[in-house]
Amino acid sequence: MSSTTVSEADLPANLRNLVQKADAALKSQNVGYAVQLLLPVVKAEPHFLEGRIKLRKAEGVVKKAAGSGKKFLGGLSGGGLSNMKLAGKVKKEPEAALPEIEDLLAEDPYNAQVNGLLYEAAIALSMPETAAFALETIREGHPTDTKNMHRLAQHYMLNKEPEKAADIFQAILRVDNTDGEARKGVTNANAQASITRQGWGQRDSVRDLLKNKEQSKSLEDNSRKGMTAEQIDARLAEWGEKYNEDPQNINVVKKIGDLYEQKEDLPSALQWFEYAFGLNTADTALGSKVQQLRDRIEDAHFNALKADLEANPDAPDAAQKRAEFDDLVNTRRLRQIASAKDRVEKNPTDLQLRFEYGSALLAAGQLSEAIAELQKAKNNPNIRNRATLMLARCYEQKGIFDLALRQLSEVAAELLGMDSTKKEVLYFKGQIHEKLGQKDEALDAFKQIYEVDYGYLDVAQRVESSYS
């Protein structure tokens, strides 16, 4: 937000002298005297926000020392005007109301109603920083007042400070994790912050990125892949302009998320897809996309932890790190199961969601529950082969090897080309045959892979060692 405040250096000499004396009083812990010195300064120069901040902090200390039922500074109680009359004065003469507001706050610096009047007066006088400070003061004195925090977050959003707004929305969720508006606000604020960082509102920078008509035309090709980082930034700038024109356009939001994913900026991609899902919570594909991105981000974190443990297995804190790693993995699995189950309950006929739920159950070792979901998921032709493979893994872990092999044979017969899924199926099939002592059948499965992909896992070693 643009500054509407004055600094200490801008004050006239007499007020500057009072501020210096107040600073000295604060250093010597003479807080009450500091209040008496700062109060007339703030009344005389209401744009001196730094002084108002010092004053409010000192008033808070004095208030705490005096006790909740005691008054100080000559018993200032707001004079003859009630808060209702003062509210009327704020609407008609906001600047004239400010000194009276300060007198009331000297008695009760965290009073929500009076700080609310300061906020309204500051808004009327185009003093956004002071308005924000009034709401921040309420928040400090009433940290669980989510209504005030929503007001503060919206104030930051209106004044183009989305990162501060996101922090406030996060604070609301810490108080009330069920607040859907706050959850939606976090993603929206983060999206706006991304726009600010990219400079998408600056049309000159957009033109610089697009360079010329030929590049602009090529950037319009939505299906283009393999772009450079600079090209992706240019696309982001272009789509950011479209977002500014219509922030509720879900197709634009998804496109921005997709571009961030291509850029491998997964946290930003997640923020945009979360925002898109907030615009249409009935879109199960979007819900799955959000979960996939969360998993990828967690995978990167877990892989880094695992690599650290493998590189330093004898470190003094290795045992503690392993325990923490195991706890993180277990917590993640439980969260994935809960999330997948919730999506299935909301969309019980969506077999893709049942596949995701079954896969999560399998990863957690809940085999019987996983089997029930994966058997249903097999009825979706688009995921039939993957679901059958997962089902075979369930049977194998239960020791029901004949059913596992039957599932794998079924998939192998349906897959005509030797793609990654068929290689995985044949390799797993060979492993089961080995467990059963069926060496010829195992070798036959490994040879099918060997013939088309010599470097796949350890099939070359398995096949060639059989001839030694």
Residue 174 and residue 415: Cα distance in Å, rounded? 49
What's the confidence (pLDDT) of residue 447?
93
Q: Which amino acid is at 453?
A: D
* Region label for 366, one of left (φ > 0), alpha (ψ between -120 and 50) or beta (otherwise): beta
**Pick the residue with more confidence: 229 or 449?**
449
pLDDT of 103 above 60: yes
| H runs (alpha helix) in 93-177 | 94-107, 112-124, 128-141, 146-158, 162-175
- Angle at 35 (CA atoms; ends 31, 40), nearest 5 degrees: 160
Q: What is the pTM of this model?
A: 0.50
Q: Which amino acid is at 280?
A: N
253 by Cβ neighbours in 10 Å (0-12 / 13-18 / 19+) ranks as buried
For 153, the token pair is 């977050």
CB-CB contact of 137 with 115 (8 Å): yes
What's the confidence (pLDDT) of residue 2?
52
- What percent of the chain is predicted at pLDDT more than 90? 43
204 by Cβ neighbours in 10 Å (0-12 / 13-18 / 19+) ranks as exposed
Q: Which amino acid is at 192?
A: Q
For 332, the token pair is 């993640």
What's the confidence (pLDDT) of residue 230?
79
What's the confidence (pLDDT) of residue 97?
92
Query: At residue 232, what are phi and psi to the nearest 5 degrees?
Result: -65, -40
Going along the chain from its start, the domains and CATH numbers come out as: 8-142 (1.25.40), 199-214+226-281 (1.25.40)
Residue 152 and residue 52: Cα distance in Å, rounded? 18
**Which has the closest alpha carbon to 130: 148, 140, 118, 141?**
118
Residue 404 and residue 50: Cα distance in Å, rounded? 72
Residue 37 and residue 20: Cα distance in Å, rounded? 9
pLDDT in tens, 7-33: 999 999 999 999 999 999 999 989 999
For 278, the token pair is 């907030």
Residue partners of 410: CB distance under 8 A and separation at least 6: 388
pLDDT of 448 above 60: yes
pLDDT in tens, 367-386: 999 999 999 999 999 899 99
pLDDT of 4 above 80: no
What's the confidence (pLDDT) of residue 20?
94
The pLDDT confidence band at residue 5, using thresholds 50, 70 and 90, is confident
The pLDDT confidence band at residue 196, using thresholds 50, 70 and 90, is low
pLDDT in tens, 232-244: 888 888 888 888 7
Q: How many CA atoms lie within 13 A of 456 on its CB side?
A: 23
What's the confidence (pLDDT) of residue 70?
41
CB-CB contact of 4 with 128 (8 Å): yes
Residue 189 and residue 193: Cα distance in Å, rounded? 6
Candidate from 21-30, 81-90, 192-201, 402-411 with smallest mean pLDDT: 192-201
CB-CB contact of 401 with 395 (8 Å): yes
For 460, the token pair is 């070359």
